[in-house]
A and B are shown apart, each in its own frame.
Chain A
């Protein structure tokens, strides 16, 4: 029993790492321009396919693949911001939300057009498939890599935001865009950076998603997008540590729900996710680490 719970906890850690990475971008974008970005999950899909393409195309070392996937995600984020969201800047919040819905549909259908809707096997190199056992917990190298990469990236991000001049500008912009402008901060660059970082992390989460589940298709972004939304809201939208916390909490909760209850309930896991969301919001309307935010520009 102890071994079983340990295994479930490890699974929760892996799942939570992916949710947290996606939730960070979601929360950063909302924090700065108050945009509920429905298309964020589709970057996960793009990251998964870019990874698959890179793995198939030859002997590219794993660390290089990670970097390329992050860059591809970041580039997609920048393009989407420029093409779709910047022209909508200043419009009511609901306009941004609908725009993001349109972007999401566009990306999914582009995916179907270029790659067909047929799920593809995600090809993971053998050296990432090696299974090893820690006590009663068994892990693949890739699972370990997922957790380590996620933690490294998150530590890096937290340090960037807390201790650099750029991070200071990002925090200031997220809190008060107008006054940030008066300080001479180039708002457009900060917004672009938020999209780049958030989408880069979502891209790498796509790599993890593919490696974890073994199959990918152009519609796979929906689930991680939704979970990231929930994780970000649980943590307090706009708060980066909140998104991380929310992601891991959600990962653990989901795995424990499926693992500890009789199997007939396991198909209700997504309903369960929303029950947690509602319960937390009833007690803490601004999420665990959130603070009150006025609707932005």
Chain B
């Protein structure tokens, strides 16, 4: 579905991605783990078009039978309409907008009014609290609710591929459980997920496959279980001694 081939990217003058390659297959959950500053966020940004890679290719095929497209130079808004939705780091709801408006703006590029209505219903079934608080400003929600809103907003564009940047950051462990369960459910309903996480334990548990990044490069890859049992990963990311 998604193939990142030898992507090199700079942020300002800093050489951040030094040749990242990874692949996401249809209906998978793929985790991308690594220490702070490894380049995980930047990797997602090059996929969604927020950051341009200097070298390398990014290829995307929304459905197994669709034609593959090179999205390396495609503008961000077109990438959204092709079916990639990027939830950026840090629960960035539009706090001046109410909950309902936040969800609607997720569907900004869509013209199919009726399908939007039914997707609103779907999101509210996934996260009932969002329906209950629809008139409330998004800024007044708790951290967990904001996370749900951010995921719901991303789903409103009907993505084939969901890019999630550290959804567990700053949430109580119980809430993280809830969010991860929702991700599993969303995936089961047909959305492919590329998940960036610092919480390596849970991410490796959830993901079918995973990549480990260090200082701008992918250094390890394998199934979630393989990596969870890998000696280096256990030492560096799972706190094993």
Contact = CB atoms under 8 A, between A and B. Distances in A.
Q: Do A and B come from one complex?
A: yes
Contact of A184 (B50, B77, B88): B77
A183 B76 CA distance: 9
Contact of A182 (B80, B96, B101, B104): B80
B97 A183 contact: no
A179 B81 CA distance: 15
Interface string B150-164: 000100010000000
B80 A184 contact: yes
* Majority SS at the chain B contact face: mixed
B77 A181 contact: yes
A158 to B, nearest CB: 14
A86 interface: no
Interface in A157-191: 165, 168-169, 171-172, 174-176, 178-179, 181-186
Given A178-B50, A178-B88, A184 B94 contact: no
Nearest to A172: B94
A182 B94 contact: no
Contacts of A174: 96
A175 to B, nearest CB: 5
A186 B109 CA distance: 10
Interface in B34-86: 48, 50, 76-77, 80-81, 85-86
Contacts, number: 55
A186 B77 contact: yes
Given A176-B92, A176-B94, A182 B50 contact: yes
B105 interface: yes
**Which has the most chain A C-beta neighbours within 10 Å: B77, B80, B88, B153?**
B77
B3 to A, nearest CB: 21
A182 B109 contact: no
A179 B106 CA distance: 10
B140 interface: no
A172 B77 contact: no
B15 interface: no
Nearest to A171: B96
A238 B240 CA distance: 50
Contacts of B97: 168, 171-172, 175
B108 A183 contact: yes
Contact of B95 (A165, A169, A175, A186): A175
Contacts of A169: 105, 108
A168 B85 CA distance: 19
Interface string B85-125: 11010001011110001001110110000000000000000
B96 A183 contact: no
Contacts of B77: 181, 184-186
Contact of A168 (B48, B50, B105, B109): B105
Contact of B88 (A168, A175, A182, A186): A182
Contacts of A172: 94, 97, 105
Interface in A182-222: 182-186
Contacts of B94: 171-172, 175-176, 179
Given A168-B97, A172-B97, A183 B88 contact: no
Contacts of A176: 92, 94
A34 to B, nearest CB: 16
Interface of B: 48, 50, 76-77, 80-81, 85-86, 88, 92, 94-97, 101, 104-106, 108-109, 153, 157
Given A171-B97, A182-B88, 4 more contacts: A165-B108, A168-B97, A172-B94, A182-B80
Interface of A: 165, 168-169, 171-172, 174-176, 178-179, 181-186
22 contacts: A165-B108, A169-B105, A171-B94, A172-B105, A178-B50, A179-B88, A181-B76, A181-B77, A182-B48, A182-B76, A182-B85, A182-B88, A183-B80, A183-B105, A183-B106, A183-B109, A183-B153, A184-B81, A184-B108, A184-B109, A184-B157, A185-B105
Return the 8 tightest CB-CB contacts between A and B, nearest first.
A184-B80, A184-B109, A184-B77, A172-B94, A179-B92, A183-B108, A181-B76, A182-B86
